[in-house]
Amino acid sequence: MEHHVYFWLNEESKSAEARTAFEAGLAALFDIAEVAGGSWGTPAKTAERPVTENSWDYALSMKFASQAEHDIYQDHPEHDLFIDRFKAFWAKVQVMDLEEGA
């Protein structure tokens, strides 16, 4: 399964210092044992198209071996620390989870 999270930062959280801290927080989430892989990033510099959404500031894409591993991650203390530390940075967050097809 895949876990995708999109973050829109508050204006006051867009400084270089705040971004550096947020990026370190995103990277640290991959140290959680249940995370099988993935990455984080910012919007790609692709051409604008009617179907492209790139108003977000950061995205996180994680892979899990199973739904159970994902569920453990959701309740993991390090995940909770990330939320507690950075929730004030967010103007908006959207989660889109993916069950892989054939």
Query: Terminus-to-terminus CA distance in the chain, angstroms?
Result: 12
- The predicted structure's pLDDT at residue 86: 98
The domain locations on the chain are 2-43+54-97
Comparing CA positions, the residue from 84, 37, 40 lying closest to residue 58 is 40
pLDDT band at residue 100 using 50, 70 and 90 as cut-offs: confident
For 3-29, write each residue's pLDDT tens digit. Answer: 999 999 999 999 999 999 999 999 999
- The predicted structure's pLDDT at residue 101: 81
Residue range 2-43+54-97, CATH number = 3.30.70.100
pLDDT band at residue 102 using 50, 70 and 90 as cut-offs: low
In the chain, which residue ranges form alpha helices assigned H by DSSP? 16-29, 67-74, 77-86
> Which residues share a beta bridge with 98?
2
In 30-95, which residue ranges form alpha helices assigned H by DSSP? 67-74, 77-86
Average pLDDT over residues 98-102: 82
| Mean pLDDT computed over every residue of the chain | 96
pTM, full prediction: 0.93
